Homo-oligomer: A and B are copies of this chain.
């Protein structure tokens, strides 16, 4: 008999039929003898709809009120799942973030969990019930409702699994696991039965949309066994596990395409100590999530600096940068037609030559590389956005991932 935390994302509870199907699945797990704790996201596109409503009402979006608004979505879904379980004779009780004991900081819209006091959840388990916890929310020390941010339900589930010492945390979604690349781009993409925390973390950092990166970080830190799987086919998905040093490792595990970022280039920056540092400090202070950074070789005492950031932050990134260099000869350009393709694989550490193969493969396909960044288990190349799908396909083939 195992204790399993099961998280259901928005598409998994998008309508009444889906909610009843989730209830049936939980009933099956219970008959098998497992104790189940649920974490539920808002239904379908509800969070987007609440954000649109806020846009129509307000230009200022005060954080405290935004959080009260947005968290209504998860609460609704929780209550409905509890009702559906009640209908199939599974005793259950819903818990808001606050009731489940999620204490957070006061950083509204993107609150961090400070501690979890899940005594009500534990009591419910002890009484043979299925606790259903509203995802992505908590309560601050000021007794205000807080939202953990988009994708925060994954974090809720993993953190809860950790503090409950659950045997596994299952993240149910609309894909059946973690693939060697995006199956919509490359039809021969293959579902991986296992992947290491480090690899999945790198994949989510460079654009793999599910699960949320933050939840993978928490899972890695607290060694929570994750199972990414489908709420539509219910088939076994991908287990995320610690890297097994004995395991014969694929050099490259996955190709991750991403077109969510833009490139900002600053030309004619004086090549003096502290100039670049000051610029990136200003960007960080303004909340711009700078990702890849490339600085050209200096000529005549000036250099060019390019960086990438999420597309919707590129405008403010450009104006901050322009402000800093006002009056100088610097020019700032924004390019949102870029894309990125990344190779991720734990085996890269001991297999030199992966980068060379990647560059050759892209060159052969006549795809120009504009920026490069690497980590121990990842290589990312910025290319034209139009080339991303083709780059993904040729790299998936070149490393025989299909």
A residues bordering B, Cβ < 8 Å? Answer: 15-16, 19-20, 50, 53-54, 56-62, 64-69, 72-73, 75-76, 78-80, 82-84, 86-87, 93-94, 96, 99, 120, 143-145
Contacts and interface: CB of A to CB of B under 8 A. Distances in A.
**Which A-B residue pairs are the 10 nearest by beta carbons?**
A58-B83, A16-B56, A69-B79, A68-B79, A72-B72, A65-B82, A65-B79, A16-B57, A57-B80, A62-B86
Instruction: State the oligomeric state as a number of copies.
Output: 2
A75 B78 contact: no
Contacts of A120: 143
B96 A145 contact: yes
A84 B58 contact: yes
A64 B143 contact: no
A58 B87 CA distance: 6
A316 to B, nearest CB: 21
B83 A65 contact: yes
A400 to B, nearest CB: 46
12 contacts: A54-B80, A57-B80, A57-B87, A59-B87, A60-B86, A61-B83, A65-B79, A68-B96, A69-B76, A69-B79, A72-B72, A72-B76
Given A93-B64, A143-B99, A86 B58 contact: yes
Contact of A54 (B83, B93, B96): B83
Contact of A19 (B57, B64, B76, B96): B57
A274 B341 CA distance: 84
Contacts of A56: 15-16
A62 B83 CA distance: 6
Contacts of A73: 72
Contact of A50 (B76, B87, B94): B76
Nearest to A68: B79
A75 B87 CA distance: 27
Given A64-B94, A68-B76, A75-B75, 11 more contacts: A16-B53, A60-B87, A62-B86, A64-B93, A65-B78, A65-B79, A66-B83, A69-B76, A69-B79, A99-B143, A120-B143
Nearest to A15: B56
A16 B119 CA distance: 40
Contacts of A61: 83
Given A64-B94, A93-B64, A94-B64, A57 B72 contact: no
A58 B76 contact: no
Given A68-B75, A75-B68, A80 B58 contact: yes
A311 to B, nearest CB: 25
Contacts of A50: 76
Contacts of A54: 79-80, 83
Contact of A57 (B67, B84, B94): B84
A53 to B, nearest CB: 7
A167 to B, nearest CB: 27
Contacts of A68: 75-76, 78-79, 82, 94, 96
